[in-house]
Amino acid sequence: MGVFYEVLFLLVLGVIGIVLYLKHLYTFWEKKGVYVSSKPHIIFGNAKPLLTGKGAIRDLFKEVYDDCRRNSQKMSGFYFMMKPCLVLADLDLIKDIMSTDFEHFTDRIFHNHESDPLSDQIASAKGEKWKQLRSQLTPAFSIAKSKMMSQKVLAYTDKLIEELTHNYRDKTIIEISEVIEKYMIRLTEAAIFGMENDQIYGPTTEFEYYLKCFFNKSPLDLLIALLTFFNPSMLTYVRARSVRKDVGDYFLKLSADIIKFREENNIVRDDLIHLLIQLRNNVDINETSGQIRQESKIKPLLSSSQIAANCLIIAIADYETLASAISFCLYELALNPDVQERARREVVDVLALHNGDFCYDVVNELIYVEQCLKESLRKYSPSAAHSRECTKPYIIPNTDILLEPGTHVFVPTSGSHMDPNIFPDPERFDPERFSKENCAGRHPCAWTPFGFGPRMCIGMKYGMMKSKICVAKLLLNFEFSTNHLTEIPITVKPKAFITKSANGIRLDIRKID
Ligand code: HEM
């Protein structure tokens, strides 16, 4: 009996100790004098809805942002379980951290180490390594390259229209996000890996299967993702993988095979993998034209596995975001027939000025279509938040709050994008918000679907070009409208990394003859 009470006493003491320790951890921000928008849960901190799969990141961060604005706070402490992070709610402070004082926040919070070959890519690269990689990859997204790639985009969009026409000549309900996702994957396959497809529809290719598996995480993968957050160095120690083994193996082999085949057969192509092979072979490329300038003096950064890692992450960054952007834009155009008609009229008029030739200048002249896309990126930003890791001690301007290296900082896009003081009546879809006049006085960090500062999206112009071509050509050929299966308002998938509809986007399409 005595032993029983001793064990019980020790257990109770242990539990009390743990509870007190956790409570102590949750006073981190309080002690620094930083406001915390809601009381943290003892296990999950402020991330309970995310960790239990009940809420979407965009909703959670929007609540934090809104609460800060109501209470005149520029930021809120946030506990991701026990890890103290900071959520920003002030546009000037966002600008400072993402741009003016970028040197203190050069990194994102992803794992990046040579022991994990597929983690070694631009989106997770850190410090100097990132700077070099970014400047070496920039030519791949030059205006000249974009112009060249527009030919491929036009060709694939024509294939999409041909197949939609064939399958849906009469007014029919389609799940538009599925269709657009398939089209984007085919385009990515061709533009990045040089693998052309005759069909948009058709059976799932191996490439499509593995690309879509990128975000399908097993419980072990999820544990690894959590560890990245708490202790990235431990991941290096246990030689963990950031990408599922079968997905990683597929892309490593695919890239190695393409490189070998091209080098043995002296094949030159206009895709991204070709540019990366040139970088590996120490060729310096002109930033604006995308042309070879000379043998580079810089030591080549890329190994074969780094080529695979960069191609894979760019494929993901490319197809997922654009499929989301285009699908939500078509959804809003279906809900707003007047806007749809005005956008269609613009495409018809601009094309008429170019004698029906859908050249690159047409893309640049589609001002209203661009406004529609920007407005839909405001309402449904594919990325719910931008992340930065503090890399050098930083005192938040006009305060004595010191951020230590390793602090994670989040910028919620859903906060400012849906702030009625910045975008009045934020639920309303109104492309006029992005007219030249209406943008003129707006804070540069009010609308940041592509991020902000030196680390903003490298593919922004290229992505806008692709989405404009797709939306414009679809509008020329089809009319989109809602039906009894269209979800209004739409539910966003809680666990998705990129903003997606939870139940699909069902629209009527009708061919315009
Ligand atoms: C609607 C389309 C797109 C959206 C909304 C989008 C959004 C973003 C965002 C929010 C970031 C992080 C920015 C930051 O942290 O400040 C990012 C980074 C990045 N994006 Fe995009 N993106 C899009 C299209 C593309 C395309 C088409 C590509 C390439 C083909 C691309 C490649 C990348 C890469 C490589 C990065 C990492 C850049 C770095 O760390 O230096 N994105 N994107």
Q: What is the pLDDT of residues 428-437, one digit of tens each?
A: 999 999 999 9
Which atom number of ligand 1 is nearest to the Cα of residue 188? 30
Q: Determine if ligand 1 sits within 6 Å of the CB of residue 316.
A: no
pLDDT in tens, 109-166: 877 776 778 888 999 999 998 998 899 889 888 888 889 899 999 999 999 999 999 8
- 3-state DSSP call for residue 409? strand
Q: Is residue 28 part of a domain?
A: no
Q: Is residue 35 part of a domain?
A: no
Cα–Cα distance for residue pair 174/166, rounded to 1 Å: 13
Which atom number of ligand 1 is nearest to the Cα of residue 386? 15
N- to C-terminal Cα separation, the chain: 89
Q: What is the pTM of this model?
A: 0.92
Q: Is position 457 annotated in a ligand binding site?
A: yes
Confidence band of 233 (pLDDT split at 50, 70, 90): low
Which residue has a Cα nearest atom 6 of ligand 1? 450
Task: Give the DSSP H or E segment for 481.
Answer: strand 478-481
Cα–Cα distance for residue pair 317/457, rounded to 1 Å: 9
Q: Determine if ligand 1 sits within 6 Å of the CB of residue 94.
A: no
Confidence band of 101 (pLDDT split at 50, 70, 90): very high
What backbone torsions phi and psi does residue 75 show, to the nearest 5 degrees?
-160, 165
Q: Determine if ligand 1 sits within 6 Å of the CB of residue 200.
A: no
- Give the Å distances, CA to CA, from 313 to 214, 243, 306, 360, 421: 10, 10, 10, 27, 36
- Are 311 and 192 contacting, i.e. CB atoms less than 8 angstroms apart? yes
Burial zone of 137 (CB within 10 Å; 0-12 exposed, 13-18 middle, 19+ buried): buried
The preferred substitution site among 98, 130, 275, 321 for testing ligand 1, maximizing ligand atoms within 8 Å of CB, is 321
Taking the centre of ligand 1 as the mean of its atom positions, its distance from the CA of residue 462, in whole angstroms, is: 10
- 3-state DSSP call for residue 214? helix
- Are 76 and 67 contacting, i.e. CB atoms less than 8 angstroms apart? yes
- Give the Å distances, CA to CA, from 497 to 289, 308, 473: 34, 22, 28
Is a pLDDT exceeding 80 seen at residue 297?
no
- Give the model's pLDDT for residue 279: 79
Which atom number of ligand 1 is nearest to the Cα of residue 137? 35
User: What is the domain range of residue 358?
Assistant: 1-23+49-511
What backbone torsions phi and psi does residue 107 show, to the nearest 5 degrees?
-110, 160
Q: Determine if ligand 1 sits within 6 Å of the CB of residue 314.
A: yes
Average model confidence (pLDDT) across the chain: 90
The preferred substitution site among 135, 457, 466, 468 for testing ligand 1, maximizing ligand atoms within 8 Å of CB, is 457
CATH of the domain at 70: 1.10.630.10
Q: Is residue 29 part of a domain?
A: no
Q: Is residue 32 part of a domain?
A: no
Cα–Cα distance for residue pair 88/29, rounded to 1 Å: 14
Q: Determine if ligand 1 sits within 6 Å of the CB of residue 318.
A: yes
Region 209-213: mean pLDDT is 93
Helix axis angle for 304-335 and 367-379, nearest 10°, is 100
Q: Determine if ligand 1 sits within 6 Å of the CB of residue 106.
A: no
- Give the Å distances, CA to CA, from 146 to 289, 374, 460: 10, 19, 11
- Give the Å distances, CA to CA, from 2 to 6, 14, 170: 6, 18, 83
Q: Is residue 36 part of a domain?
A: no
Q: Is residue 495 part of a domain?
A: yes
Q: Is residue 298 part of a domain?
A: yes
Taking the centre of ligand 1 as the mean of its atom positions, its distance from the CA of residue 492, in whole angstroms, is: 20
Confidence band of 179 (pLDDT split at 50, 70, 90): very high
Taking the centre of ligand 1 as the mean of its atom positions, its distance from the CA of residue 325, in whole angstroms, is: 12
Which residue has a Cα nearest atom 18 of ligand 1? 457
More confident: 292 or 497 = 497
Q: Is residue 398 part of a domain?
A: yes
Number of domains in the chain: 1
Taking the centre of ligand 1 as the mean of its atom positions, its distance from the CA of residue 450, in whole angstroms, is: 6
- Give the Å distances, CA to CA, from 45 to 221, 228, 275, 493: 21, 17, 44, 22
